[in-house]
């Protein structure tokens, strides 16, 4: 009886949120098969071999692809700005403005600044690390490292909208301790210099952009200037590696990222333009890969088949069916998100095990 009740509950809950599901346009297990049984830096290099050689979208055509990669639900109209709460819209390719007050227009924000890699191709137009952002906020971030800080910061606003990110006024920056999956982490690396801290909502997005860049350009990124990349931590310096690992863990992959990944890859369900890179961000497809390269799973050989993906059609279809009939299932609400607790295991509504 318990089995039937739980199965019905699972099917009902999954059906009730089907509108939010995003399917991958490729078989991810096959796409990443050649990375199987690798670990640490060897895994990073194996992933590079999978995602390099992408189709280069020109710098001038970034607005065309961003009409879908960076609008709400790829609607081609309502632009999402990761640095402000401004309501930007487009009716075609996203257009650019180099200066002006907050809300006056947008520019192409290289999360890895162009000056760090001397504006070289293909980095200069790789859409996975470039976002449309308000031009005033873009200028405020400048080429400073990302970071987090307490105390005063510089941000701009008008009666129209405001910058949600901020630039530190101080130059001594640490990474605050945090808890993740029952374990406390206390990063020790510091950075002496101003840092830009984005809104919490997009910290994970930016982290996965940096992990992508350290992987796609694994053969050259250690030589970039700027202080974020290097050889200390598999393509990153220690401060940025610890920071991005924290942001990745605390801000999971969102529906926005799943769609953005599909648009850049070239899924015609979302990408209505002719511009596509034909490669993917592995750390959106399989977020746990981050742990195998920069986190707690370094030194452990990865099994791609054993990884969970946030894409609906790549999640384990039988996750609920495999639960013992003798265990009690209950719904719990955490920070407005509904989960299923079965014994000591927690599942999201797609059937993926959370912890």
Q: DSSP character for 23?
A: -
Read off the pLDDT of each residue in 110-126 and give the average, rounded to a whole number.
98
DSSP, collapsed to helix, strand or coil, labels residue 7 as: helix
Res 98: pLDDT:
92
Chain mean pLDDT for the chain:
89
Q: Where are the alpha helices (DSSP H) in the chain?
A: 2-16, 28-31, 40-51, 62-69, 135-141, 203-216, 238-250, 255-265, 282-285, 289-293
Tens digit of pLDDT for each residue in 75-105?
999 999 999 999 999 999 999 999 999 999 9
Question: Given a cut of 90, is residue 328 above it in pLDDT?
Answer: no
Q: Identify which of 36, 57, 14, 12 has the alpha carbon closest to the alpha carbon of residue 276.
A: 57
pLDDT value for 261: 98
Q: Which residues contact 68 (CB under 8 A, 6 or more apart)?
A: 74, 76, 263, 270, 271, 272, 273
Helix axes 238-250, 203-216, angle to 10 degrees: 130
pLDDT one-digit tens code per residue, 267-299? 999 999 999 999 999 999 999 999 999 999 999
pLDDT of residue 341: 72
| pTM score | 0.85
For residue range 301-315, list pLDDT tens digits in order: 999 999 999 999 997
Q: What is the mean pLDDT of residues 124-146?
A: 98
> What pLDDT shows up at residue 318?
44
Higher pLDDT, 69 or 333: 69
**Cα within 13 Å of Cα(307), Cβ side:** 27
Q: Is the pLDDT of residue 153 over 50?
A: yes
Residue 350 has pLDDT above 60, yes or no: no
Residue 146 has pLDDT above 50, yes or no: yes
By the 8 A CB rule, do 198 and 204 touch? no
> C-alpha angle 174/281/180, rounded to 5°?
40
């Amino acid at each position: 009886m318990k089995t039937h009740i739980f199965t019905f509950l699972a099917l009902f809950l999954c059906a009730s949120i089907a509108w939010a599901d995003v399917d991958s346009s490729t078989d991810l297990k096959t796409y990443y098969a050649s990375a199987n049984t690798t670990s640490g830096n060897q895994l990073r290099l194996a992933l590079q071999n999978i995602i390099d050689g992408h189709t280069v979208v020109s710098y001038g055509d970034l607005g065309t692809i961003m009409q879908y990669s960076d609008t709400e639900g790829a609607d081609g109209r309502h632009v999402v700005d990761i640095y402000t709460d401004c309501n930007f819209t487009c009716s075609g390719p996203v257009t650019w403005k180099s200066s002006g007050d907050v809300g006056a227009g947008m520019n192409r924000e290289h999360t890895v600044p162009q000056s760090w890699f001397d504006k070289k191709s293909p980095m200069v137009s790789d859409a996975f690390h470039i976002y449309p952002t308000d031009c005033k906020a873009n200028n405020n971030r400048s080429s400073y490292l990302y970071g987090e800080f307490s105390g005063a910061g510089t941000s701009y606003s008008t009666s129209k909208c405001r910058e949600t990110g901020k630039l530190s006024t101080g130059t001594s920056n640490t990474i605050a301790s945090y808890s993740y999956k029952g374990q406390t982490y206390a990063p020790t690396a510091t950075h002496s210099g101003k840092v830009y801290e984005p809104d919490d909502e997009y910290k994970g997005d930016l982290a996965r952009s940096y992990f992508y860049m350290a992987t796609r350009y694994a053969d050259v990124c250690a030589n970039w200037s700027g202080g974020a990349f290097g050889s200390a931590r598999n393509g990153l310096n220690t401060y940025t590696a610890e920071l991005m690992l924290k942001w990745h863990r605390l801000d999971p992959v969102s529906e926005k990222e799943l769609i953005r990944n599909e648009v850049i890859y070239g899924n015609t369900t979302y990408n209505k333009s002719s511009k596509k890179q034909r490669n993917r961000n592995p750390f959106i497809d399989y977020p746990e890969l981050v742990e195998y390269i920069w986190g707690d799973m370094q030194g452990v050989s990865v099994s791609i088949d054993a990884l969970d993906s946030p894409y609906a059609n790549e999640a384990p279809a039988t996750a609920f069916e495999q639960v013992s009939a003798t265990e009690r299932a209950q719904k719990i609400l955490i920070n407005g998100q509904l989960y299923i607790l079965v014994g000591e295991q927690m599942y999201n509504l797609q059937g993926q095990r959370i912890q």
